[in-house]
Amino acid sequence: MIRSNAAILILCALFAATFVPLSFAQTNDSTGISALENADQLQQTAQTQTPPSNNSQAPSLEDLGLTPSQTQSDPQLQARLDKRAHMLKMHQRLGLITAIPMIASVATGFGAGGRSTSTSERWAHLALGSATGDLYFTTAYFAIFAPRIPGTQTRGPIRVHKALAWIHGPGMILTPILGAIAFDQKSKGEKVHGIASAHGAVAIVTAGAFGAALLSVSLKF
């Protein structure tokens, strides 16, 4: 009897030892499954949620005090600016080109008025002077007839550049007139005299003012 009861107790103990791990494993599995299901539900909820709408907007041009007419471009003004920029660039380039025959004509002028000068030297000086005059007045054309922009002010080197034009401008008109008189006197075998004798001095002053005008827009001060 005692042996049969002991055997029953041993079988119960073995059954309990086997049942407890199985129950614990099943509990863990059910807990893990529940956790996975909860995670899936949270992910689906996060995906279905929409971000809050942003009601704040950047300030418009009207909010900044600018009218539509002020923000629209002016094609006529832009065309004037483009034309002015183009003509002033041509003025600058031709001015540099004009300096070459001007220097050559001044250099040949020292010998063209002497007693022993030949006819070819005088003609060479005349040709260089004529080329200088043509280039000079073409250069002046691009500056004088460039479109003006209302409201712009002349400052710094440009003011000096324009002021020097009042020196070399009249000089370029007077120099060829005096040169023509001097050329006529020399062609007749006469010595250069009278007002024509100022031809060389006027030419030097004119060339000096022209060179200073070029430097005024080339140097920053």
Over residues 146-192, the pLDDT tens digits come to 998 877 777 788 899 999 999 999 999 999 999 999 999 888 888 88
d(CA 96, CA 46): 74
Q: Which of 162, 167, 105, 169 is nearest to 132 (CA)?
A: 105
- The per-residue DSSP string of the chain comes to -HHHHHHHHHHHHHHHHHHHHHHHHHHHHHHHHHHHHHHHHHHHHHHHPPPPP----PPPTTTTT--HHHHS--HHHHHHHHHHHHHHHHHHHHHHHHHHHHHHHHHHHHHHTSTT--HHHHHHHHHHHHHHHHHHHHHHHHHHTSPP-TT----THHHHHHHHHHHHHHHHHHHHHHHHHHHHHHHTTPPP-GGGGGHHHHHHHHHHHHHHHHHHHHS--
- Confidence band for 80, pLDDT divided at 50, 70 and 90: confident
Token code pair at residue 161 = 């550049």
- Confidence band for 104, pLDDT divided at 50, 70 and 90: very high
pLDDT tens column, 31-59? 443 444 444 554 555 455 544 545 455 55
**CB-based contact 137:108 (threshold 8 Å):** no
Percentage of the chain lying above the pLDDT 70 cut: 64
Domain ranges in the chain? 77-218
* Higher pLDDT among residues 132 and 16, named by residue: 132
Contacts of 172 (CB under 8 A, 6+ apart): 133, 136, 137, 206, 210
